[in-house]
Amino acid sequence: MSRSGVPDARPRLVVIGNGMAGARAVEEIIARGGTEQFRITMFGDEPYGNYNRIMLSHVLAGDEDDGAIFLNPLSWYRDNGITLHAGVRAERIDRFTKHVFSSDGRVTPYDTLIIATGSRSHMPPMEGLYTPGGSVKHGIFGFRTIDDTRKMVAYAQHEHHRHAVVIGGGLLGLEAASGLRRHGLEVDVVHSGGHLMSAQMGPEGGAVLRRSVQGLGIGVHTGSRTTAVLGTDKVAGVRLRDRPDIECDMVVMAAGIRPNVDLAVLSGLPVERAIVVDDSLRVQDEDDVYAVGECVQHRGQVYGLVAPLWEQAAVLANHVTGADTGAAYLGSRTATKLKVAGVEVASMGLQGPELETDEHIVFSEPSRGVFKSIVVRDNKMVGATLLGDSRKVAFLTQAFDRGLPLPEERLGLMFDLGTPGQEVGVAELDDDAQVCNCNGVSKRALADAVKGGCTTVAGAMDATRAGKGCGSCKLLVGQVVEWAAGGAVEDDPAASYYVPGIPLDKQALMAEIRKRGLRSVSAVFQALAPGGREDAKSKMGLASLLKMMLADQYIDERDARFINDRVHANVQRDGTFSVVPQMKGGVTSVQQLRRIADVAEKHKVPLIKLTGGQRIDLLGIRKEDLPQVWADLDMPSGYAYGKSFRTVKTCVGQDFCRYGTGDSTRLGVELESRFQGLESPAKLKLAVSGCPRNCAESLVKDVGVVAVEGGRWEIYVGGAAGAHIRKGDLLATVDDPEDVKVLAGRFIQYYREQANWLERTYAFVPRVGIDHLRAVIVDDAEGIAGRLDEAMQASVDSYVDPWRERDDPQTPGQFRTSLPLTVLPQVPVR
């Protein structure tokens, strides 16, 4: 009876379980008009909304915050009129009177019931798991829920905890091990099977995977059973059968999962390995009770992966709502494609040949961590394992799902020979092919979203949730959206904004700034931001742009700067700073070295480190000490902190090197003198090499110069060898070092004016094209070379060494500490 007095005639749908299966089933039901049809109530054991369990390994590794993995926030339940009992455990049902009894004493009637109780970590039998009081021993963790994960992270970050043992070398165990390794713990994996991931691959693949996992610094003990957890009140180690004990202070149980069937057993429902359901996901011999997910057994199969769950939820919703009572779930062929501990793993069907007539094609390259195995029967693919290289996965999955005929040359299954490559693959991919394995989104679903008007990649991703799981499919999602839109993909308009807070691209923004004569960041917000609202995320980009455009006419508001630029040093994880004095071209002197040594000694610098840019880094300097350190050094800033020109790396050059053909050190020093401190959209790292042996790595620099025989110099642009690797493109070959300076300066100025905020040259150069750059910069096809040179000269002339601010702080308390009491976390002193 509702409060308004009008009885609510809708039947009651009760869902036990608010995990991925329960919530997905409800989403599918709502998509079929379920909100009009039912009053929906959900019970969830955990006191939260619904979250993506697959992402817990990212949370453990620290790549993702636990807040970011929620799929449905509490407001979703409210908006859909769902009554959610979060943190309440349903204990049993009375299937004759149709009531659910829950841990809070509540009795809830239902007309239709869905059981989605999922599964839990399996605790293999061994001694010492529990304290005499009966609770799990301190330091033992499961890896199943968000609370498990939070507790593990907190425990791992506790400084006395140094060594973890993970029991189980399957998918989950390896994820746990690599996550804990990222927290700096020593980690050993103990696996009872003969090789890692024995459920997904054969021994040869396991051996290759073992090498990759060991490469991460993780110890691997296979064929080894844990017989006891040692320690009286907390974990002190584990005992292995036939092996020495391992000392540790943390044990993670990842030895598989078991379906949660207690409620079903107590309530008299049919349970074998799990709750037995038929092809409509109805519990056997029950008219109004359904079950879905990892707690069900269908045709003898129990699934522990996410993909079958999506298929089950759709069939279940068709029956519950009556949308399609002919729908049938016939089981899932499980193909997994995952990234485990940084290694790409895909597996489907058989692990190896089973009949004498089976063909087995194997490729193994352990040094690269690559292993491929394919099993063929009657010219159909019946199994595959791919490790470390998943480029052919889309094609193979389709061949496996559809039983496609295979190329006669079997090698083509593993490598791009005659079979469709990745690019054609998208068009030829079957409509039902799953693009996003985390959220179960098919190519058809994405294409439908595009047809429905989501013509941006971001829009289609929001609409379908494709790419919102582990993210490894984002490239493929983008390709599918492009294909579905027939090339008419609209750019997300915000994606073209120079900074998020002002709805203009860079050229339009620069034009407005010029037209209105704006000279400060606050003036730009007032004139051009919606509602005149300032936006913290936009400040740094605007400050850089204005300084580039206006040089000494720029009104410098210090609050627009990032902390590094306010104090001219690079902030470190403990709130201290690093100080890198200028060392042009990596050339130093006795006096400089002596002075740096004196300063390091006087200020008790915790770490002195040579940088990749051929300089000396003094780390762990407190903010309040910066001015004194600079005064004692009496050297200019090396700008190792800004979105700016950083350094020029050089090789020894012709004076000493017996191969040298050009004076690379001298040119490097001159380039650094000219471009020191220039703001730019992203950092600029340069190099000059004295011969094609390229000892200064010029081919992978933003601007790299190489001396070649005959006194000539090659200039490369757009190279990188950091997070991204790219060989630079040859911009020009010139005879005179002076021409190198002119062309490098012209390129840098063009990049400063044209590149998006934070767009490194390795992205900028291929975006505009090297031919275009050659035309503009070398051949002056647009007639702007003179203007670019002038603008660069103005910037060069306005250079001031920022470390001079030591004598004259720009703002009150510029160098005052921001962590006045204990500094956390402490960086260890070596």
Partner 1 sequence: MSSTETGTGTKIHVLGPLEQIPVGEGRAFAVDGKQVAVFRLREGSLRAVSAVCPHRGGPLADGTIDGQVVICPLHQHAFDLATGCSTTGANALQTYRVRLDREQNLVLETAPV
Structure tokens of 620?
């762990």
* Among positions 158, 558, 602, 804, the unique one binding partner 1 when judged by CB under 8 A: 558
Q: Does 5 bind partner 1 (CB under 8 A)?
A: no
Q: Does 811 bind partner 1 (CB under 8 A)?
A: yes
Based on CB atoms, which residue is closest to partner 1, 595 or 622? 622
Residues 6+ apart with CB under 8 A from 202: 195, 351, 352, 373, 385
Buried b / exposed e over 289-328, threshold 16 CB at 10 Å, is: bbbbbbbbbbeeebbbebbbbbbbbbbbbbbbbebeeeee
* Among positions 560, 648, 682, 706, the unique one binding partner 1 when judged by CB under 8 A: 560
Which DSSP symbol is given to 138?
B
Piece in contact with partner 1 (CB under 8 A), picked from 210-218, 368-376, 569-577, 746-754: 569-577
Based on CB atoms, which residue is closest to partner 1, 279 or 574? 574
Based on CB atoms, which residue is closest to partner 1, 26 or 499? 499
Q: Name residues contacting partner 1, limited to 264-293 (CB under 8 A).
A: none
Based on CB atoms, which residue is closest to partner 1, 68 or 427? 68
Q: Does 539 bind partner 1 (CB under 8 A)?
A: yes
Q: Does 723 bind partner 1 (CB under 8 A)?
A: no
Q: Give the Cα separation of 430 and 428 in Å (integer).
A: 6
Tokens 């060989």 correspond to 727
Q: Does 547 bind partner 1 (CB under 8 A)?
A: no
Based on CB atoms, which residue is closest to partner 1, 536 or 800? 536
Residues 6+ apart with CB under 8 A from 793: none
Which of 646, 404, 644 has the alpha carbon at shortest distance from 543?
644
Q: Give the Cα separation of 678 and 796 in Å (integer).
A: 7
Report, in Å, the least distance between residue 187 CB and partner 1.
Answer: 21
Report, in Å, the least distance between residue 534 CB and partner 1.
Answer: 4
Based on CB atoms, which residue is closest to partner 1, 565 or 714? 565
Q: Does 301 bind partner 1 (CB under 8 A)?
A: no
Which of 327, 321, 326, 296 has the alpha carbon at shortest distance from 309?
296
Report, in Å, the least distance between residue 643 CB and partner 1.
Answer: 14
Tokens 């359901």 correspond to 277
Which of 640, 683, 672, 681 has the alpha carbon at shortest distance from 741?
672
* Among positions 241, 533, 594, 724, the unique one binding partner 1 when judged by CB under 8 A: 533
Q: Give the Cα separation of 729 and 750 in Å (integer).
A: 16
Q: Give the Cα separation of 360 and 357 in Å (integer).
A: 10
Other C-beta atoms within 10 Å of 408: how many? Answer: 8
736: left (phi over 0), alpha (psi -120 to 50) or beta: beta
Q: Does 820 bind partner 1 (CB under 8 A)?
A: yes
Which of 128, 162, 124, 123 has the alpha carbon at shortest distance from 230?
128
**Which DSSP string corresponds to 29-91?**
HHHTTHHHH-EEEEEESSSS-EE-GGGHHHHHHTSS-GGGGEEE-HHHHHHTT-EEEET--EE
Q: Does 557 bind partner 1 (CB under 8 A)?
A: yes
- Build a one-symbol-per-residue string for 493-522: x at contacts with partner 1 by CB under 8 A, - elsewhere: -----------------------------x
41 within 8 A of 82, measured Cβ to Cβ: yes
Based on CB atoms, which residue is closest to partner 1, 65 or 287? 65
366 within 8 A of 379, measured Cβ to Cβ: no
Q: Give the Cα separation of 294 and 53 in Å (integer).
A: 13
Report, in Å, the least distance between residue 72 CB and partner 1.
Answer: 15
* Among positions 132, 326, 812, 828, the unique one binding partner 1 when judged by CB under 8 A: 812
Residues 6+ apart with CB under 8 A from 546: 513, 518, 519, 520, 521, 524, 554
Based on CB atoms, which residue is closest to partner 1, 657 or 827? 827
* Among positions 1, 6, 723, 821, the unique one binding partner 1 when judged by CB under 8 A: 821
Q: Which amino acid is at 808?
A: D
Piece in contact with partner 1 (CB under 8 A), picked from 533-541, 721-729, 747-755, 760-768: 533-541
What value, to the nearest 5°, has the Cα angle with vertex 307 and ends 306 and 311?
120
Piece in contact with partner 1 (CB under 8 A), picked from 161-169, 273-281, 528-536, 788-796: 528-536
Report, in Å, the least distance between residue 150 CB and partner 1.
Answer: 11
Structure tokens of 802?
């920022």
For residue 445, report the phi and psi dihedrals to the nearest 5 degrees.
-60, -40
Based on CB atoms, which residue is closest to partner 1, 129 or 571? 571
Report, in Å, the least distance between residue 812 CB and partner 1.
Answer: 5
Q: Does 828 bind partner 1 (CB under 8 A)?
A: no
Piece in contact with partner 1 (CB under 8 A), picked from 343-351, 560-568, 657-665, 789-797: 560-568
- DSSP helix/strand/coil, 132: coil
What is the number of helices (H) and of strands (E) in the chain? 26, 40
Based on CB atoms, which residue is closest to partner 1, 114 or 185? 185
Based on CB atoms, which residue is closest to partner 1, 558 or 787? 558
* Among positions 824, 828, 829, 830, the unique one binding partner 1 when judged by CB under 8 A: 824
Based on CB atoms, which residue is closest to partner 1, 184 or 786? 184
Report, in Å, the least distance between residue 820 CB and partner 1.
Answer: 4
Based on CB atoms, which residue is closest to partner 1, 496 or 811? 811
Q: Give the Cα separation of 660 and 364 in Å (integer).
A: 42
Tokens 């949308």 correspond to 323
* Among positions 78, 594, 787, 816, the unique one binding partner 1 when judged by CB under 8 A: 816
Q: Which amino acid is at 796?
A: V
Structure tokens of 624?
């309040």
Piece in contact with partner 1 (CB under 8 A), picked from 177-185, 461-469, 556-564, 727-735: 556-564
364 within 8 A of 204, measured Cβ to Cβ: yes
Structure tokens of 736?
């005179």
- DSSP helix/strand/coil, 27: helix
Q: Does 574 bind partner 1 (CB under 8 A)?
A: yes
Report, in Å, the least distance between residue 559 CB and partner 1.
Answer: 3
* Among positions 3, 160, 515, 537, the unique one binding partner 1 when judged by CB under 8 A: 537
Based on CB atoms, which residue is closest to partner 1, 361 or 823? 823
Q: Does 540 bind partner 1 (CB under 8 A)?
A: yes
Q: Does 562 bind partner 1 (CB under 8 A)?
A: yes
Q: Does 759 bind partner 1 (CB under 8 A)?
A: no
Based on CB atoms, which residue is closest to partner 1, 722 or 813? 813
# residues contacting partner 1 (CB under 8 A):
36
Report, in Å, the least distance between residue 572 CB and partner 1.
Answer: 9
Structure tokens of 124?
């293999």
Q: Name residues contacting partner 1, limited to 62-81 (CB under 8 A).
A: 65-68
Q: Name residues contacting partner 1, limited to 103-132 (CB under 8 A).
A: none
What is the number of residues in the chain? 830
Based on CB atoms, which residue is closest to partner 1, 754 or 817? 817
698: which strand partners? none
Based on CB atoms, which residue is closest to partner 1, 515 or 537? 537
3-state DSSP helix/strand/coil percent for the chain, to nearest 5? 35, 25, 40
**Which DSSP string corresponds to 517-553?**
T--SHHHHHHHHSGGG---HHHHHHHHHHHHHHHGGG
* Among positions 124, 256, 503, 575, the unique one binding partner 1 when judged by CB under 8 A: 575
Report, in Å, the least distance between residue 448 CB and partner 1.
Answer: 31
Q: Which residues bind partner 1 (CB under 8 A)?
A: 65-68, 522, 533-537, 539-540, 557-560, 562-564, 566, 571, 573-575, 811-813, 816-821, 823-825
